[in-house]
Structures are given as structure tokens and as C-alpha cells.
Amino acid sequence: VLQSSNSLKASYEDWLLTYGLSISPFHMRWQTAVFNRQFYNWGRWKPRFLYLWFSVGMVFGIVAMFGSVILLGKTLMQTLTQMLTEAPNAQNDRMLQVVVSVFSSGLYLRVVPGVNLPVSQLTYFFSAVLISGVIHEVGHGVAAIREQVRFNGFGIFIFIIYPGAFVDLFTTHLQLISPVQQLRIFCAGVWHNFVLGVASFIVLFLLPAILFPFYYTGVGALVTEVAEDSPANGPKGLFVGDLVTNLQDCPVYSVEDWNSCLEDISEKSQVGYCISAATLQQLSFPARVYRRLDGTVECCSNNSLTDICFSYSNNVDSHLYACLPARKVIEASKVCRTNVDCQKDFVPSFCVTPSLENQTRLIRVKHPPHIDMLYVGHPMHLQYTVSLSSFVPRQNFLSIDLPVMIETFCKYLISLSGALAVINAVPCFALDGQWILNSFLEATLSSLIVEKQSRELVGFLILLAGSALLAANVALGLWMVTAR
């Protein structure tokens, strides 16, 4: 609207130029020279160290270029195999699909998760994307100044809702330096992303030691959030601040234990509980037995919120059913698989097992000093609707969310910075891999292939193949997501 106005167009464009802004549909970009002095200070700090630093980065970038091709080729074969199989692997449901967008100011990576991203984690996602992009471009900028290439400015942009960063280098200087110098500059971005990912992994790994003065670990899984629609939400359910120590007979010392216990419970058959014959006769009451649609047996009223149908066997009949009050049966009872597990002190006892629908489990969750929570449902529903932390505050005033925030942010940095390094290393048009490949060919093939046009043709064919490989991964990946 402002550009179409004869009276405002000139002043509007002057205003954009003054503040280094560029605005177009879905894309806003800001460039400044304010940070130039800082970049020059970084680029001139310890020249010998920076030479070694970016030389190692150059080697890494070249290796990453070949490695990314192998990785994309393997991923493509796995995706094609998955498409041809009738029952795909469940673990592939969470694979990351890579989408690359090209703008007038350059090419920037976007990683779109193959599963829904929770709204509560959008801040982590966009912050990690921005920081990964900034660190990537800082690598290019510092390396360029180290190689005596003029640095014009640094900027950030927003495309639709995705943030990113870029550096503006003097192209003529970049073309005049040697291919090896160019390699140090072009590989610096993926090198810095790799270093950022490694640093984030180290912080994540050492987090218990870093937070040891304030938080202790290894005592259970601390509940930090319970979703409103969670089956664990209720007067006898879980509350924020509860410390979970056991799931059935599976001890829980951390969030990892919580997840592995739930996975183990979902994969194995429902456990039973020991109950004496006298108690069984006292608690059970007559009820009509009928089969559900999935073939399982129900013997309690559908309106009951406290009773569960249990199955058991004796020496005569192996398919007996009794409707029993769940809490009275389970509390102070020993977990069992067969009647043999319950034989003690010559007291006649039975191993009664909840008769539930397929994939449904009765899970006893211990969170002392509160009464045990009895959960009936799919174990994964409990996993998805309850958030926990392995870190327990030593003092009441300490936040229970801080360690979770640090953990989550580190994981996003590892994933997104690593993805940025891998994709930018691919020998593909407009990616860093294009310039890495061209400089690599100039540095290695100039004596074998004398004519520059022939070297450029070889590079063009490799870039064409790399672009096709990346495009195939993107297309099939998006197809897999939409098809599901």
C-alpha cells in the first residue's frame, strides 16, 4: 500500500533504507553494520588458533559433505522400503522431514517435525532455529574476516513465522582468495552448527552435575504437569510436585525409568495380584459374565468406578471370573503371574488378573506419601499426558520447571543445529554444499582437469544429483507425513 502511494513511496523507501529493512510478502529482513566491529574483533582474535579452528572445520565440512550424501541415500532407501511394507516401523513415525526454502537473500533450512509440535514448545523450537542460524552465520562471518574478506553486515529475517540469520560478504574479495581459503569460509557454518550441537549434548549430559548444588536426582520422577484431560487427573490421581517411585513392581528413579517401565508394561501381559481364597470369597459378589467385542470378558457393571473384573484359575476350572473392588485387592498385595507365585505359609491363594480390553492395563502408581493411584487405560496415554522431571529441588523456593526447560532447549538445539549442519553440507544448488563442492573441486582437480569449464561441468553434474537426492527425500518424506 505504501509503495503504491505516490506521496509516501519515496519517504517509505528512504525509511526502510535508513534502518536496513527489507519487506516483501511473508518475508521481513533487517541488516545492520552495528555488529561489524565485534565481528572484526572476533576475526582478529588469536590468528593462529582461528587458523587451526577453521582448518579443522574445513576438514569436517568436506567429510560432512560426503557423509550427508550417504545419509540421505540411506534415508531414501529406508523411506522407499517403508512405503512398500504393509506394517511400517512405529519408530519411523517420529522421523524429521526436511524442507528447504529459497529466498532472495539466500537459502535457509527449515525442519518440520513429522509429529504435531506441542504449542507449549513452540518457543523452544523457534529459539533453537534462530540461535542455530545465528551461530551458523557467525561462523561464516568470522572465517571471512580471518581470510581478509570484507564484511559488510549481519542481519536477521522472518519468513512467515520462521526466524533466521545471514551475513553480507564482499563477493569480489571472496572470489579472489584461494580455494582452500574459500573452503574455510564455506565450511565454517556447518562446523559451528556441529560444535553447537556437541556443546548442547555435553551440557545435557552433565546437567545433573551442573545442577547438583540445587537439585538432586536418582530418587524418582517428579510430576511437573498433568494435562486437564489426563486419566491421571483427579482427587486420587497425580498432582504437580508428586514424586513417582514405582509403576507396578518396576522401580522409577528417573524419567527414563518411567518411560521404560510404561513401555515394558504395555508390551507384556497384565500382571496379577495375590489374594487369599477367603478374601476372594468375601469380596466377590455375583455378576453376569459377558464377552466384549474384542473377545475379552467383563463381569462387572459398566457403571462401577471402583470394581474391576478379575480372572483366575483353580485346580478344577482355569477360567473363573469375579467382580472385585480394585483398591482392596491391590493394596498390600504381591504381584504375580501364576498361582505358584502366591503360595505362602500354606494359605490357599490365587493370582487374580484384571480382565481388561486389549492394550488396556491396570497400573499401580506409587507416589508416597499419597495413596497409590490406580490407573486403568493405555500406558501410552499416561505417558503423553503426564510431564515429569528427574530433578528434585533441594529447596522449596527452587523452580521444578527450570531443569526441564534446560533439558528441552538442549534437545532442540542438538536436533535443529545438527539438522542444519547435515542439510547445508549436502552438495545441492544454493546450499553451503554447493560452494563447498565447487571450492573442493578447484582445490583438488585443477591439476587433473586443466580446463575450468570441464571442472564446472563435473561440479554441475554432482550438484544436480545431490539436488535430486535431497528433493526426493523431501517429497517422499512429506508424502509419508500427509499419507498418515
Yes or no: say if 185 and 174 are a contact pair by the CB < 8 Å rule: yes
Yes or no: say if 366 and 372 are a contact pair by the CB < 8 Å rule: yes
Yes or no: say if 150 and 168 are a contact pair by the CB < 8 Å rule: no
Active site (annotated) includes residue 137: yes
Amino acid at 451: E
Q: CA nearest 222: which of 93, 398, 479, 424?
A: 398
User: What one-character DSSP code corresponds to residue 27?
Assistant: E
Yes or no: say if 380 and 266 are a contact pair by the CB < 8 Å rule: yes
Q: What is the rounded CA–CA span in Å between residue 252 and residue 255?
A: 8
Q: Given the DSSP bridges, would you call strands 386-389 and 221-226 parallel, antiparallel or unpaired? A: antiparallel
Yes or no: say if 307 and 322 are a contact pair by the CB < 8 Å rule: no
**Residue 406: Cβ within 10 Å count:** 16
Q: What is the rounded CA–CA span in Å between residue 358 and residue 372?
A: 24
Out of 86, 137, 263, 456, the active site residue is 137
Q: Which three cell numbers stand for residue 19?
A: 534502518
Please enumerate in sequence order all residues whose Cβ is within 8 A of that of 474, keeping only pairs 6 or more positions apart, or say none: 97, 98, 99, 100
> Ramachandran region of residue 277, left (φ > 0), alpha (ψ -120 to 50) or beta?
alpha
Cα-Cα end-to-end distance for the chain: 42
**H helices present in 177-317, as ranges:** 179-210, 255-267, 277-283
Yes or no: say if 382 and 226 are a contact pair by the CB < 8 Å rule: no
Looking at the DSSP bridge assignments, the partners of residue 273 are 335, 352
Catalytic residue set: 137
